[in-house]
Amino acid sequence: MMPINALIQVQAPPTSSIIGLLSHGTPVSWAVLLFLVALSAISWTIMTVKFREFRAIRAAAAPLMEYVPQAGSFNDVATRAALGIGSPFYTVLRRAERFMNDTRPALAGTSDRQARLSQAQVEALQMLLDREATGERDRVERLLPWLATIGAVSPLIGLLGTVLGVINAFLGVAASGSGNISAVAPGVAEALVATALALTVAIPAVFGYNYFASKLNHLTSEIDAFSTDVVALLVRDGRI
């Protein structure tokens, strides 16, 4: 009959935790895991910053966007530009206002209408507004490429950790001279944790990038439409 002490030892649950199993990992494998943790912190920080930035832009732009359709003239919109301060729409509107103030109309006024811009001047205005819109898009897009990079690189870094863990498992088998679970468990646990951590980093980063890229495209379309509305106001005023 098996002694009671031996029976207890056989039936006792293993006390090794994941940290305990990983403690047998090499410094390189630990460096991979810590690097993945750092990438996760960076990606979540970027997503938090961009979420607040888009929310602030939307809050700042809403009053100006609501006023433009009912504005009587370009000058009315220009005087209300402060409604959208802090948003890309404010920047585009101010650029159009500076152009109109600094540019002398090429077409002289007549008894029927005031002096107005020539076709070349209108094209110059549109190019300036497009450039301003592109600059605002680039500003808002800042940090987003990092999310795409983290989402693409994290699985590869996790694969590196997985390979290192498998190598460590085989080294454990070679050192113990047997293939029992105690010899391979640390390396296998190290490999699986690296894979799981890499996916935990990559999946939110990819979702975050796609989400904010979609919001950026929508914002870009709104800025382009706003630029068109500004030019339309100038046409309605007879200044083009």
- Region class of 193: left (phi > 0), else alpha (psi between -120 and 50), else beta: alpha
Of 29, 14, 26, nearest to 197 by C-alpha is: 29
Distance CA 167, CA 161 (A): 10
CA 6 to chain centre: 58
Report pLDDT for 29.
76
Report, in angstroms and rounded to the nearest whole number, the Rg of the chain calculated over CA atoms: 31
Sketch the domain layout of the chain as residue ranges. Answer: 22-105+116-236
The residues near 98 (Cβ < 8 Å, ≥ 6 apart) are: none
The residues near 223 (Cβ < 8 Å, ≥ 6 apart) are: 88, 89, 92, 133, 136, 137
Kindly report the pTM of this predicted structure: 0.78
Give, as one character, the DSSP assignment of residue 68.
G
Residue type, 188: V
pLDDT-derived band of residue 177, with 50, 70 and 90 as boundaries? low
Q: Give 116's strand partners.
A: 107
Choose between 178 and 235: higher pLDDT.
Answer: 235
Tokens linked to 34:
């810590």
pLDDT-derived band of residue 189, with 50, 70 and 90 as boundaries? confident
* pLDDT, tens digit, 9 for 90 and up, residues 130-148: 999 999 999 999 999 999 9
83, burial (CB in 10 Å: exposed 0-12, middle 13-18, buried 19+): buried
* pLDDT, tens digit, 9 for 90 and up, residues 18-32: 555 555 567 777 888
The residues near 181 (Cβ < 8 Å, ≥ 6 apart) are: none
